[in-house]
Amino acid sequence: MYRRPNLSETSIEWHRKQSKQQEKTNPRVLRDRHNRVRNITVGFRVSPEENEMINAAVAISGLPKQEYCYRRCLCQDVVVQGNPRVYKGLKDSLEAVLLQLKRLTSIDEVSPELLETIHLISTVLGEMKNA
């Protein structure tokens, strides 16, 4: 039975209660909102630079980080659909690129990470234009 949380409960507390109730019924099977069983955790370490690149790609894609990472790991297409979240991610990424480009004094100082971000932004914008 669905019960909406009241003002004294935060959404985190409410979700914890929901997951505890679900665990009581069957502790081995945890399902997400799409009724998929996901009970295995995969983790990996990245450098701060790689983390920034991943976060930029996630922001541009408009997908949650988990969804973006497993689509990329499984070589599935990451389809970007225009929505406010994507536009905000593109805007923020373009602002960050602009700040880095203003900081540069010569073309030789451009980092490969910056070039990769620019390439990703241009690819997303080109695909959105063609769609």
**pLDDT tens sequence across 92-122:** 888 988 998 899 888 888 888 888 888 988 8
Higher pLDDT, 61 or 17: 61
Q: Supply the mean pLDDT for the chain.
A: 79
Most confident of 2-6, 56-60, 76-80: 56-60
Residues in the chain: 131
- 80-106: burial string, b at 16+ Cβ within 10 Å, e else: beeeeebeebbeebeeebeebeeeeee
pLDDT of residue 42: 82
Question: What pLDDT does residue 48 have?
Answer: 92
* Res 7 pLDDT > 60: no
Q: List pLDDT tens digits, range 43-74.
A: 889 999 899 889 988 888 888 898 899 889 88
Q: If you search the block for the tokens 């988990």, which residue do you land on?
A: 66
Asked if the model's pLDDT at residue 9 lies above 60, the reply is no
Q: What does R_g of the chain's alpha carbons equal in angstroms?
A: 20
